[in-house]
Chain A
Amino acid sequence: MKHLKATTFLIAAAFAGQALAQEAGGRLDIVVQPEPPGLMLGLVQNGPTQLVAGDIYEGLLRYTTDLEPEPGLAKSWDISEDGLTYTFHLNEGVKWHDGEPFTSADVVFSADVFLRETHARLRASLAYVDTITAPDDLTVVFKLKEPFGPFISVFEVGTMPMIPKHIYEGTDYATNEMNATPIGTGPFKFDKWEKGSFIHLVKNEDYYVDGLPHLDEVYYRVIPDAASRAVAFETGEVDVLPGGSVENWDVARLTEMDGVCSTGSGWEFFAPLAWMWLNNREGPTSDVRFRQAIMYAMDREFVRDVVWNGFGKIPTGPVASVTNFYSDGVTQYDYNPDKAKALLDEMGYDGETVRLLPLPYGETWQRWAEAVRQNLSEVGINVEIDSTDVAGWNEKTSQWDYDMAFTYLYQYGDPALGVSRNYTADRIQKGSPWNNVEGYENPELDAKWAAAAVMADPEARQDAYDEIQKEIVDDVPVAWLLELEFPTIYRCNVHDLVTTGIGLNDGIRNAWIEQ
């Protein structure tokens, strides 16, 4: 442990200081919604898979709720002055769940071979990587072609999970039969998956951190209906409701029960930001004054307080306040219907109907769309809500067949990883609902986004992103709605459940139950 950075020691000390006497043992029941399509984290990375597989697999680093890296499978790391060489020193004595030792060869295989092929989001970052080498069994060196500021943020378990080389090397990854019984290095081992009912994980007795994990077993329970999930929590059948597993209207009722705690923390790394795509290509939404009018017309605080029960923050622009390089030195769009009307008069809006496509994720999002429609109609904008299902929403947004469309996307801790993709012209491509769907084109800003991504000096990056945010907020390429917080609801006798920036996804390692 002598390689640990001073900051990490301080964090560890702080945790140790405030923690009660931790008790070992016990079983935790957690809702997983919807049922994951698979648990092999290198192949599937959707939300429910990350939630469950985050206990089985591990990444080189973990991230605090302030997005500071802390040790994971790597106990320490060095970054060269020029920002080109990242050296990781691995923990000793780490074993895969089948008993094989975990070494630097597994890291090289995971990052350079397996994930390069299967993980689209990581592949974009790996494009900056020149070589990945293993000088010895416990050291891995990433050499970059040019400095890539956000590179230190790609080692989280969902982004770069460690894959066992001895199982996957030379096989067809997608059809490897071991996908059904995943082998990782994590604090819990896969035991059993009863489809449609539960996934059972048991304690990894050989875990490399002494005394962890505290729990004996974890059940991830599949309960298809939101109301039934709420009831299951009330009756004590489950102990933890991860964010988004019950309708928002139930959150208030459940958190008021005795012995129930909740936290909005644990989403800092993802920083889900909700906005409306505004079609910049045609119709009234192609006029910047119309887009600004939308921002002034919406009572975003009302929605936060009523539809989201007070959870979340009002965003100032494209970068969420918890994401690195956030800046609030931008034009503020407060609720101001008069200003909206003035802007509409100025542009000569003729009452043309604009279509609004809600996100088909349940009642919360439907009510939200209704509130926005009402806000807009009160300043004189004619809005018609399109009804849709998930497939229809995907189709309409990826084919640009919309005027305004709800969405939310993750930011992954850094603007270059999860923000610029929605605003630069090179990401305008039909067929994906995750890129620059609004069709915003600004060559000057494109150059600034590109430059900011490869700056080695964090302060220079901050300046660059300050400037970008200031300019883009005046253009309103999309209508930023809310920094989402999905409250995790749990029984108060469960402690240390959310300790990192990805929350429950790797939280069960530290969790313990007060008997």
Chain B
Amino acid sequence: MIRRFASNKGAVIGVLILLIVIGLALSADLLFPRGPWAMVQRPFLVPFTMDGFPLGTDTLGRDVAAGLVHGARVSLLVGLVSTIVALAIGVPLGAVAGFYGGWADEGAMRFTEFFQTIPNFALAIVLVAILEPTLTSITSAIAIVSWPPVARLVRAEVMAVKRREYVDAARLAGLSNFRILTGEVLPNTVSPIIVMASLMVATAILLESSLSFLGLGDPNAMSWGYMIGAARTVIRSAWWLSFFPGVAILVTVLALNLIGEGLNDALNPHLSRKGTA
């Protein structure tokens, strides 16, 4: 499987980029010990004009490079945590609905649809605005708007798997429903979930950036979306303030998408476009 993944050039590039971003995020305090908010040089320093400040400075003289590296932490953290939370809600709900059927299915799906009928982004904005923007509330809001597709995917997979012979065999062997669900059914639905999760991290990063751009970010956490939002008013005189964080978002999200695609090819050989399996 790893070999199949490695044969996909795009996926390998995605992993490399992601590793670099993670590495930068982890070493942020070593690279820029004064933090992203320190006012270190004169404001509006143009990029590549002064040693030590390759990406220039912002409206208050803060190092843009420091902001990018520290912002990577927020983006990755929010992306990862909100995805884990969304999976923690979506997987059990979808599994129960798909496995037991009947009123459990009806109830769970109507509940899911309730969330699906409200546009994702609008709901996220409302939640963050009500809860007051902090990293916790932003992460929760993103998780709350992202779990319904997971629930539906898991339900469909579980429904397909539970009719297989080995599930019947397990039932004949006298295993309880719970043991069958967790031991036989769910493990066989993992691959599409992994693929979906990698794409969800990318979506979550975009959502966080959009919220911060609109001024609904955590005012105490430097993030890429905040940097672009704050740069909006000076976009005509200082292009680099919105350009570099924009590139950072683009590259990271692209990397995650490439990885997701690679995983998809590797885990679902039947669906592979290359048909190498």
Chain B residues 37 to 88 lying within 8 A of chain A, measured CB to CB, are 37-39, 43, 59-61
Kindly state whether residue B132 has any CB partner on chain A within 8 Å: yes
Q: In the docked arrangement, what's the CA distance between A377 and B237, Å?
A: 29
Kindly state whether residue B230 has any CB partner on chain A within 8 Å: yes
Judge whether B133 and A363 touch: CB under 8 Å.
no
What is the predominant secondary structure among interface residues of chain B facing chain A?
loop
Most buried by A among B39, B216, B218: B39
A contact residues around B39 at 8 Å (CB): 302, 371, 374
Give the interface size bracket for A toward B. 20 to 34
Q: In the docked arrangement, what's the CA distance between A131 and B60, Å?
A: 55
Judge whether A367 and B220 touch: CB under 8 Å.
no
Kindly state whether residue B176 has any CB partner on chain A within 8 Å: no
Kindly state whether residue A226 has any CB partner on chain B within 8 Å: yes
Kindly state whether residue A177 has any CB partner on chain B within 8 Å: no
Q: In the docked arrangement, what's the CA distance between A374 and B220, Å?
A: 11
Residue on B nearest A253 in the bound complex, by CB: B237
What is the predominant secondary structure among interface residues of chain A facing chain B?
helix
State the Cβ distance, B22 to closest chain A Cβ, in Å.
Answer: 27
Binary CB contact string for chain A from 365 to 378 against chain B (1 if under 8 A, 0 otherwise)? 01101110110011
A contact residues around B236 at 8 Å (CB): 253
Q: In the docked arrangement, what's the CA distance between A227 and B236, Å?
A: 10
Judge whether A249 and B219 touch: CB under 8 Å.
no
A367-B59 contact, Cβ under 8 Å, with A247-B233, A302-B39, A373-B37: yes
Kindly state whether residue B156 has any CB partner on chain A within 8 Å: no
Q: Return the contact of B233 from the options A306, A363, A374, A384 (Cβ within 8 A).
A: A363
A contact residues around B60 at 8 Å (CB): 306-307, 367, 370-371, 374
Q: In the docked arrangement, what's the CA distance between A378 and B219, Å?
A: 18
Judge whether A374 and B37 touch: CB under 8 Å.
yes
Q: Return the contact of A227 from the options B133, B216, B220, B233 (Cβ within 8 A).
A: B233
Q: Return the contact of A386 from the options B43, B59, B219, B234 (Cβ within 8 A).
A: B219
A contact residues around B220 at 8 Å (CB): 384-385
B contact residues around A302 at 8 Å (CB): 39
Residue on B nearest A358 in the bound complex, by CB: B219
A contact residues around B233 at 8 Å (CB): 226-227, 247, 249-250, 363
Chain B residues 158 to 180 lying within 8 A of chain A, measured CB to CB, are none
Chain B residues 120 to 143 lying within 8 A of chain A, measured CB to CB, are 132-133
Residue on B nearest A363 in the bound complex, by CB: B233
Judge whether B234 and A387 touch: CB under 8 Å.
no
State the Cβ distance, B220 to closest chain A Cβ, in Å.
Answer: 5
Q: Return the contact of A385 from the options B215, B216, B219 (Cβ within 8 A).
A: B219
B contact residues around A249 at 8 Å (CB): 59, 233-234, 237
B contact residues around A387 at 8 Å (CB): 132-133, 215-216, 218-219
Judge whether B132 and A370 touch: CB under 8 Å.
no
Binary CB contact string for chain A from 25 to 61 against chain B (1 if under 8 A, 0 otherwise)? 0000000000000000000000000000000000000
State the Cβ distance, A393 to closest chain B Cβ, in Å.
Answer: 13
Q: In the docked arrangement, what's the CA distance between A263 and B182, Å?
A: 73
Binary CB contact string for chain A from 382 to 410 against chain B (1 if under 8 A, 0 otherwise)? 00111100000000000000000000000
Binary CB contact string for chain B from 227 to 253 against chain A (1 if under 8 A, 0 otherwise)? 000100110110000000000000000
B contact residues around A247 at 8 Å (CB): 233
Judge whether B230 and A366 touch: CB under 8 Å.
yes
State the Cβ distance, B112 to closest chain A Cβ, in Å.
Answer: 31
State the Cβ distance, A381 to closest chain B Cβ, in Å.
Answer: 14
Judge whether A367 and B237 touch: CB under 8 Å.
no
Judge whether B37 and A370 touch: CB under 8 Å.
yes
State the Cβ distance, A101 to closest chain B Cβ, in Å.
Answer: 51
Chain A residues 245 to 290 lying within 8 A of chain B, measured CB to CB, are 247, 249-250, 253
Q: Return the contact of A306 from the options B61, B216, B230, B234 (Cβ within 8 A).
A: B61
Judge whether A363 and B237 touch: CB under 8 Å.
no
Q: In the docked arrangement, what's the CA distance between A366 and B226, Å?
A: 12
A contact residues around B132 at 8 Å (CB): 386-387
B contact residues around A367 at 8 Å (CB): 59-60, 230
B contact residues around A371 at 8 Å (CB): 39, 60
B contact residues around A369 at 8 Å (CB): 219
B contact residues around A226 at 8 Å (CB): 233
Q: Write the residues of chain A forming the contact surface with B, with a CB cutoff of 8 angstroms.
A: 226-227, 247, 249-250, 253, 302, 306-307, 358, 363, 366-367, 369-371, 373-374, 377-378, 384-387
26 A-B pairs with CB atoms under 8 Å apart are A226-B233, A227-B233, A249-B233, A249-B237, A253-B237, A302-B39, A306-B43, A306-B60, A306-B61, A307-B60, A363-B230, A367-B60, A367-B230, A370-B37, A370-B60, A371-B39, A371-B60, A373-B37, A374-B37, A377-B37, A378-B38, A385-B219, A385-B220, A387-B215, A387-B216, A387-B218
